[in-house]
Structure 1
Amino acid sequence: MLECASYLLGSPIKLVTDDANLLKALQLVVRWMKETSDYSFSIDESIAKLSEENQPILSIYMACMTKFALENKNKAKDDSAVKYGVSLLLASYCENSDKSKGQTSEITSLVTAKNNNTLKQHLGMK
């Protein structure tokens, strides 16, 4: 599953819903997230804001959640650690303009917060 998430994160966002292989990887990630009993995933209001004007970013967010959980098993049950770690991954992905064409102001704000070391405050965390 980590390979599917990494594959998605290594691809331009515009291809995620157009490329057959990327779409299959996304479908596997979504199915795994629904069916795994090892992890619990939730989508909160922060991703709702990010995906409001850019629906494909939700696919990338799910890939980030999967990658973070599998690479940080000791933090996967800590909601704050997951939110922060996933947001770092997402901001890093979005920084690469080749991958994330069509950034919204919300995404730009997330990337700026990451680069200014104010991501926790941006996310409403202490």
Structure 2
Amino acid sequence: MKRLIFVIIFGLFTSSSFAQTLPDFDAIKLDKREDFNAAADNAALQASNFLLSTALEKNNLDRLKSLEYVIKWMSGTPDYSFTLDEQATKFAKKNDDLLGLYMAAMTKYVLENKEDSKDQNKIKLNAVKLIIEYAKNEKNKVKLNSELKKAIEADNKGQLAEYLNH
């Protein structure tokens, strides 16, 4: 039990410090229900934080491995469910990088806000807010398409929730 508490505290510390040292995702098995434990969740949060704190680069192996892990974790976790609705992912059409970031943002939100993890509208709203924050940072090299610009404009007006639900 002490070991589990230590792992959780250590995981929270490392993820909040945005350490760029990533887990060995290949060594983390996600084959059965029991595999989706605190360590697996922590790795998903680390991967999400990494993706949301590094610039888009097509050939960055760490980004690719992180995204692969997030997708595998999202697909198998018994504790959370995710919806990729059309309105929330409109800005990601023809841009797989943004879709991957949206998935990382949803993962980050549910793991950091467990009390809201069943509310798909809160997950969607807050994940899109994370994407907007990411896209506004020029160092991340996001090309703003018209839908992303509309989402940013709606967010600036305090109308993002309405934009996402129309």
Structure 2 partner of 1:95: 136
Structure 1 pair 65/111, CA: closer, same or farther in 2 (3 Å)?
A: same
Q: Which amino acid in structure 1 is aligned with residue 102 of structure 2?
A: Y
Partner Cα distance (1:19, 1:69) in 2: 26
Q: Distance in 1 between matches of 2:156 and 2:92?
A: 21
Which amino acid is the alignment partner of residue 50 of structure 2?
Y
Larger relative contact order, structure 1 or 2 (CA cutoff 8 Å, min sep 6): 1
| C-alpha distance in 2 between matches for 1:99 and 1:114 | 19
User: For the pair shown, which has the larger CA radius of gyration, 1 or 2?
Assistant: 2
Cα separation, 2, equivalents of 1:63 and 1:93: 12
SS at match of 1:56: helix
Matches within 5 A, 1:32-111: 32-111=73-152
Q: Which residue of 1 aligns with 2:54?
A: 11
TM-score normalised to structure 2 length? 0.70
Mapped to 2, the partners of 1:63 and 1:6 lie a distance apart of: 8
Runs of at least 5 residues in structure 2 that lack an aligned partner in the other structure:
1-43
Partner of 1:112: 153
CA positional deviation for 1:112: 1.5
Q: What's the Cα RMSD here?
A: 1.4
**Contact 2:83–2:120, Cα closer than 8 Å, also in 1:** no
% identity of equivalent residues: 33
Aligned residues: 123
Aligned-partner Cα distance in 1 for 2:67–2:105: 11
